Each structure stands twice: as C-alpha cells, then as structure tokens.
C-alpha cells in the first residue's frame, strides 16, 4: 500500500543510484537514462563538481531568508546577466513559479506605468507553463484545467503557427505574448527563428512584452545557452528552471531593466527561492554549461544524434514519422503506438518519456558521451525493426 497520492502514473521501477548517463535500479539493472528527470539533470547523475558544491555549501549554510543579503545568489544573478539579455534575476524554486512570476512581472510593469488594464497574456493553445492555477489556464489545455475551476481569467490563446489568429487575438489589453521557444510537453515543436523575429516585431509595434519560456529548452539544452539566441531576438522576460539546478530545485525569472523596474520591494517573494544551498549548485552548473566549448560540444554531438535518428527514420518510415527538435531536446514522432514503443525501449534498457502528438522525448544529459549516443541509437534501431 502506497500512501503517496495517485496523481502520477508511475512505472513500476525505482532506482538505487545514478552515475552520469546511467541509472541503476533496485532490482540490479542498468539503464541508459535519456529522461534525466525530464531535462533536469543537465550534467547527468552525481556530477563530481555538483556533489562537491552541495557538500561544501551544506557544511557552511543551507538557508537564510531573503530578508538578508545572499552573496551566492548575487554571484549567480551576475553570471546569468553577463551571459544573457537580462539585467535582473528573481530566484524561485520551480518552473511553474518562474512562469507565474514572469506573468506577474509583465502585469506589474504596465500597472506601474499607468496602464493597469493592459494585463492579458497571449499564449499558445495547448502549451505548457506548469501546474499552478494561473499556469494551467495560461496553457489553454482542456485536460489540465478540467475540474479546477473557476477559470483564472486574463489569458488568450492562438494556435501554434497560426499567425492570422495571433494577430487577431492581440487587443489593447494585451500585456505580453508568452511562448515556449521550443514546445516541450507539446511535442517538441521548434518556433523557427524568423517567427521569433516576427513576434518581436509585433511586440515592439504594439507595445507588448515578449516572454520566452525556456524552462525546458534553456540552459544549453538547445545547443545555445538559450534557444532564442540563434534568432538574435531579445525577449523582455525569460522564466528558467530545470537545467540550471542540475537536479537541485531552482527556478528564476530573467528580466530586462524596463520590466524589473516594476518589481519593487514587497511585490514578490519566495521563502526558499535563491537560498545559499541552491545557489551554490546553480553557480557550479552555470560555470560548466556557459562555457563556449561545452556548448559547441552539445551542438556537434546532438547534430550527430539527430542525423543518425533521421537515417533510422528513413529506414523505418512505417514506424517513425518525424524527428523533431534541436540540440538535446529531441522528439521522435511515431506512426506506431507511443506507449508500447517507450516500453520496448525500456525493456532494452533505454529510458525515454512521452510528449504530446505521439512523440517520444529523448533527453540525454548535455555531457553525454558519443558512445552512449551510439548505444541509444542501436536500441532505437532494434525496437524500430521489431515493431516495423
Ligand atoms: C516550458 C515549461 N514551463 C514550465 C514548466 C513547469 O515547470 P515545473 O514542473 O518545474 O513547475 C515546465 C515543466 O515541464 C515546462 O516544460
């Protein structure tokens, strides 16, 4: 009998420990982990530098209130600002909190400049911004909001890729457009660079803020530190989480100066957000991932992975419909049953996870070895030949 609530559909397996790209189950099996906590363990399991950072900090100071100075957070905020568009950073504990804080920052900005009615957020229908009340209504998903009414208002939606409907949905009350640069849960759908540039132009023309949710696709996952960088677009607000903590719960909102001007003392807060222990880990992750050589390595290794996956798709068109994604945020869209395919991969000791649109998500750690990619490719090919 489990006393855990039943809000997850858990597989009947648990793990004793993890090392790099591998997980070791309690029943003595070794799995190639290409889930990595759903793009969370950006540097794999028990990375020595992160273990050292946790151990060192845990002996000094775990937690102090944000009522006091937190030098470790100052350092991480500075690193994030120096590396990105951001002028200011507000630390949280998770992705949903980061997207909520992003919404608050957008609304608060217009409030402080005397336009309080400019408060609506325009989002993609069936996107994913987390599971808090505001975030589920931002996602515009019937399934996620069912039974959780009354509806949180203030969100409008357009269909992914439908520019006409996007333009139609913008009103004088639109404060921000919020999109995932690469839709993760929604089936690994990449917003093309020209589209991001178009979005920026629309936002500039209509005096709207651009929020790019990089909770899943950010912090190196796409091969760039942020997935939007390639487009040269500068967003106003970017919520992050997952990868920045490498497994430790950290969220943050990155903002430009204009937006941050609204978030004055007392407007937002978090008891745990940005505590010394979290920040010590975040600093270590940041030092490794923000390195240009490390990012270039993600680019070349993911190119190799994606090109080989496309070869498998060409060999098994009855099984694979499309290979999606960028960097190590990869989706295999199937023509066959997704759940059975994932189960077969798991039987062959490769862990992957589902996404919408019959997509199998493949999320290796960013420092995955080429030999481990080859091992995954071999398993994927084998399963394709079996279900073909
Ligand atoms: C794009 C995006 N935003 C927000 C979230 C919510 O993050 P969390 O589960 O940490 O609240 C997720 C989680 O998958 C996500 O993929």
Q: Report pLDDT digits (tens) over 179-215.
A: 999 999 999 999 999 999 999 999 999 999 999 999 9
Residue 368 within any structural domain of the chain? no
Q: Characterise 123 by phi-psi region: left (phi > 0), alpha (psi -120 to 50), beta (else).
A: beta
Closest residue (by CA) to atom 4 of ligand 1?
129
Q: Is 124 helix (H, G, I), strand (E, B) or coil?
A: strand
As a whole number, mean pLDDT of residues 131-159 equals 97
As a whole number, mean pLDDT of residues 312-330 equals 98
Task: Assess whether the C-beta atom of 99 lies below 6 angstroms from ligand 1.
Answer: yes
CA-based nearest residue to 184, from 233, 239, 146, 234: 239
Place of tokens 């559909």: 9
Query: Ligand 1 pocket test: which of 37, 92, 95, 361 has the largest number of ligand atoms within 8 Å of its C-beta?
Result: 95
Regarding whether 316 and 257 lie in a shared domain, the answer is no
pLDDT of residue 234: 98
Regarding whether 318 and 205 lie in a shared domain, the answer is no
Position in ligand 1 atom list of the atom nearest CA 130: 6
Regarding whether 319 and 282 lie in a shared domain, the answer is no
How far apart are the two ends of the chain, measured CA to CA in Å? 39
Regarding whether 178 and 226 lie in a shared domain, the answer is yes
- What confidence category does residue 236 fall into, taking pLDDT thresholds of 50, 70 and 90? very high
- The answer to whether residues 235 and 210 touch, using CB atoms and an 8 Å cutoff, is yes
pLDDT of residue 320: 98
Q: How many angstroms does the Cα of residue 377 sit away from the middle of ligand 1?
A: 27
Regarding whether 312 and 266 lie in a shared domain, the answer is no
Regarding whether 259 and 123 lie in a shared domain, the answer is yes
Residue 15 within any structural domain of the chain? no
Separation of alpha carbons 299 and 157, rounded Å: 33
Closest residue (by CA) to atom 3 of ligand 1?
129
Regarding whether 318 and 240 lie in a shared domain, the answer is no
List the domain range (segments joined by +) for residue 309.
Answer: 299-324
Task: Assess whether the C-beta atom of 129 lies below 6 angstroms from ligand 1.
Answer: yes
- How distant, in Å, are the alpha carbons of 79, 85, 222, 224, 243 from that of 295? 16, 18, 9, 6, 14
Position in ligand 1 atom list of the atom nearest CA 97: 11
- Looking at every residue in the chain, the average pLDDT score rounds to 98
Residue 44 within any structural domain of the chain? no
Per-position DSSP letters for 195-228, written without gaps between them:
HHHHHHHHHHHHT-EEEEE-TTTTTTTTSSSSTT
Cis peptide before 150 (omega within 30 of 0): yes
Residue 339 within any structural domain of the chain? no
Q: Report pLDDT digits (tens) over 280-291.
A: 999 999 999 999
Q: How many angstroms does the Cα of residue 243 sit away from the middle of ligand 1?
A: 11
Regarding whether 68 and 197 lie in a shared domain, the answer is yes
- What confidence category does residue 235 fall into, taking pLDDT thresholds of 50, 70 and 90? very high
CA-based nearest residue to 255, from 102, 70, 82: 102
Place of tokens 């229908």: 125
Q: How many angstroms does the Cα of residue 185 sit away from the middle of ligand 1?
A: 9
Structure tokens at 293: 């050589």
Find the DSSP H helices in 90-160.
95-112, 133-139, 142-145
Separation of alpha carbons 27 and 141, rounded Å: 38
- Number of domain units in the chain: 2
Q: Is 146 helix (H, G, I), strand (E, B) or coil?
A: coil
pLDDT of residue 183: 98
pLDDT of residue 270: 98
pLDDT of residue 76: 98
Position in ligand 1 atom list of the atom nearest CA 38: 14
Regarding whether 184 and 55 lie in a shared domain, the answer is yes
As a whole number, mean pLDDT of residues 253-275 equals 98
Domain with 260 in it: what CATH number? Answer: 3.40.640.10
Residue 216 within any structural domain of the chain? yes
Gyration radius from the chain CA atoms: 21
Q: Is the full-model pTM beyond 0.75?
A: yes
Task: Assess whether the C-beta atom of 130 lies below 6 angstroms from ligand 1.
Answer: yes
Position in ligand 1 atom list of the atom nearest CA 216: 16
Contacts of 201 (CB under 8 A, 6+ apart): none
Q: Which helix (H) or strand (E) holds 33?
A: strand 30-33
Position in ligand 1 atom list of the atom nearest CA 217: 1
- What confidence category does residue 67 fall into, taking pLDDT thresholds of 50, 70 and 90? very high
pLDDT of residue 336: 96
Q: Report pLDDT digits (tens) over 219-232.
A: 999 999 999 999 99
Last residue of a domain, one of 269, 289, 309: 289
Separation of alpha carbons 227 and 202, rounded Å: 20
Q: How many angstroms does the Cα of residue 129 sit away from the middle of ligand 1?
A: 5
- What confidence category does residue 246 fall into, taking pLDDT thresholds of 50, 70 and 90? very high
Q: Report pLDDT digits (tens) over 77-136.
A: 999 999 999 999 999 999 999 999 999 999 999 999 999 999 999 999 999 999 999 999
Find the DSSP H helices in the chain.
36-39, 48-60, 71-83, 95-112, 133-139, 142-145, 163-169, 193-206, 257-260, 276-289, 292-315, 338-347, 370-387
pLDDT of residue 304: 98
Q: How many angstroms does the Cα of residue 128 sit away from the middle of ligand 1?
A: 7
| Residues paired with residue 30 on neighbouring β-strands, in sequence order | 24
Residue 42 within any structural domain of the chain? no
Residue 94 within any structural domain of the chain? yes
Regarding whether 147 and 272 lie in a shared domain, the answer is yes
Q: How many angstroms does the Cα of residue 215 sit away from the middle of ligand 1?
A: 6
Task: Assess whether the C-beta atom of 96 lies below 6 angstroms from ligand 1.
Answer: yes
Regarding whether 244 and 309 lie in a shared domain, the answer is no
Q: How many CA atoms lie within 13 A of 135 on its CB side?
A: 18
CB atoms within 10 A of CB 328: 28
Structure tokens at 23: 């997980």
Regarding whether 303 and 282 lie in a shared domain, the answer is no
Residue 171 within any structural domain of the chain? yes
Instruction: Tell me the percentage of the chain whose pLDDT exceeds 90.
Output: 100
């Amino acid at each position: 009998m489990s006393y855990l609530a039943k809000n997850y559909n858990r597989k009947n397996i648990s793990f004793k420990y993890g090392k790099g790209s591998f997980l070791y189950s309690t029943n003595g099996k070794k799995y190639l982990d290409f889930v990595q906590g759903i793009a969370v363990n950006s540097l794999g399991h028990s990375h020595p530098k992160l273990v050292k950072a946790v151990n060192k900090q845990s002996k000094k100071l775990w937690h102090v209130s944000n009522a006091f100075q937190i030098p470790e957070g100052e350092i991480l905020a500075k690193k994030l600002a120096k590396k990105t568009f951001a002028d200011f950073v507000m630390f949280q504990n998770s992705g949903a909190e980061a997207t909520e804080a992003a919404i608050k920052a957008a609304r608060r900005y217009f409030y402080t400049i005397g336009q309080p009615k400019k408060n609506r957020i325009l989002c993609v229908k069936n996107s994913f911004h987390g599971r808090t009340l505001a975030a589920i209504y931002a996602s515009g998903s019937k399934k996620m909001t069912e039974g959780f009414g009354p509806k949180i208002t203030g969100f409008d939606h357009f269909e992914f890729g439908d520019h006409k409907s996007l333009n139609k949905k913008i009103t004088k009350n639109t404060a921000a457009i919020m999109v995932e640069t690469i839709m993760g849960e929604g089936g690994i759908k990449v917003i093309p660079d020209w589209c991001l540039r178009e979005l920026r132009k629309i936002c500039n023309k209509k005096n709207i803020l651009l929020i790019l949710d990089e909770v899943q696709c950010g912090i190196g996952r796409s091969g760039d530190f942020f997935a939007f960088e390639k487009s040269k677009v500068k967003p106003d607000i970017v919520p992050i989480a997952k990868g920045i903590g490498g497994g430790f719960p950290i969220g943050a909102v990155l903002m430009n100066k204009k937006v941050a001007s609204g978030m004055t003392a007392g407007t937002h807060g978090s008891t745990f957000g940005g505590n010394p222990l979290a920040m010590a880990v975040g600093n270590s992750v940041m030092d490794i991932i923000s390195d240009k050589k490390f990012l270039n390595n993600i680019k070349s290794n993911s190119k190799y992975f994606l090109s080989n996956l496309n070869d498998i798709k060409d060999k098994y068109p009855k099984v694979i419909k499309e290979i999606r994604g960028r960097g190590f945020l990869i989706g295999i869209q199937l023509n066959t049953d997704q759940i059975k395919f994932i189960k077969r991969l798991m039987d062959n000791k490769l862990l992957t996870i589902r996404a919408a649109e019959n997509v199998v998500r493949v999320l290796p750690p960013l420092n995955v070895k080429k030999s481990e990619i080859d091992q995954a490719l071999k398993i994927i090919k084998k399963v394709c030949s079996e279900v073909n």
